[in-house]
Amino acid sequence: MRDYNDLVKVAGRAAARGAAYIRSARRPRAEDWTEKGRHDFVTEVDRACEALIAEALTRDVPGSRVVGEELTPDFAASGDVVWIVDPLDGTTNYLHGYPQYAVSIACAVRGELCAGVVHDVVRDLVYRASAGDGAWVGDERLAVSSVTESKRALVGTGFPFKDQDLIEAYVRQFAVVMNNSSGIRRAGSAALDLADVAAGRFDAFWELSLAPWDVAAGVMLVREAGGRVTRLDGSEDVLGHGAIVAGNPALHGWLIDLLRTA
């Protein structure tokens, strides 16, 4: 088995290839958008980007398997080397020219996350992490924030736009978090939200409806930066569909307790 840092380098090259393609592609017109589900859009840019990324990953690591949002969405992390890919996290932002979207690639070896890369397409920043080697952007090592007082906390979130049944519960959570923190931000890319937690810009983050490709690379970043990412029930197994809570150790616990009361 390759060194985990080698897998990060493979993911970084593939993510850079995807980011370059997104920057060079013509942004689709509204009539060319396809709605996979309510408020959930996909375009040929997403699909073509995933195909480019998958080709690069499997070429560099023969025998590896790609699970991607657009082309191979049936998720299973079992296997020697499985890549978990979101070719364009923040598609709606991209379609509107809102500058917050990323390529997200994680790697699981025999079912365990071991590497992750989030490439901020607009800013051309590459966040990377591998198990035991920390989280980095360029030459800067990332660390979660040191804020411990909830009244000083800046909390990231995502709306449950794909699942209308969650809105009522989410609104209750939003209200209680707003009343107990310094503010809430919603930027529309979970991969970059988790990078912001890893970099200490957000003190905590939660979202109720996320897929493995939305979070896998970001989970690596937060954990290697000294933070925690779990389900609402505290489970560490986040490679599935559902809610995610992340943050520095102190505010992760605070946020979980607060969300449960809501």
pLDDT at 162: 81
What is the tally of structural domains in the chain?
2
Bridge partners, 72 (sequence order): 68
CATH code for position 192: 3.40.190.80
pLDDT at 215: 97
pLDDT at 30: 78
Are residue 165 and residue 52 in the same domain, yes or no?
Answer: no
pLDDT at 41: 60
pLDDT at 37: 52
From 141, 174, 207, the end of a domain falls on 141
pLDDT at 1: 43
**What pLDDT digit, counting tens, does each position of 139-168 carry?**
999 999 999 999 999 999 999 988 889 999
pLDDT at 228: 98
The length of the chain, given as a count of residues: 262
Q: Within 97-184, where are the H helices?
A: 167-179
Residue 232: domain span: 150-261
What is the dihedral angle through the alpha carbons of 157, 94, 126, 81, rounded to the nearest 10 degrees?
A: 80
Q: What angle do CA 116, 234, 222 make, to 5 degrees?
A: 25
pLDDT at 72: 64
From 141, 168, 186, the end of a domain falls on 141
CATH code for position 20: 3.30.540.10
Are residue 131 and residue 8 in the same domain, yes or no?
Answer: yes
Are residue 164 and residue 213 in the same domain, yes or no?
Answer: yes
pLDDT at 52: 97
The one-letter amino acid at 71: L
pTM, 2 dp: 0.93
- In order of 132, 135, 153, 187, the CA distances from 225 in angstroms are 10, 5, 18, 21
Are residue 117 and residue 234 in the same domain, yes or no?
Answer: no
Tokens of 226: 């000294």
State which residues of the chain have pLDDT below 50: 1
Cβ atoms of 134 and 53 closer than 8 Å: no
Scored b (16 or more CB within 10 A) or e, 128-155 reads bbbbeebbbbeeeebbbbebeebeebbb
Compute the Cα dihedral for 115, 86, 44, 22 and give only its sign. Answer: negative
Are residue 189 and residue 225 in the same domain, yes or no?
Answer: yes
Are residue 155 and residue 129 in the same domain, yes or no?
Answer: no
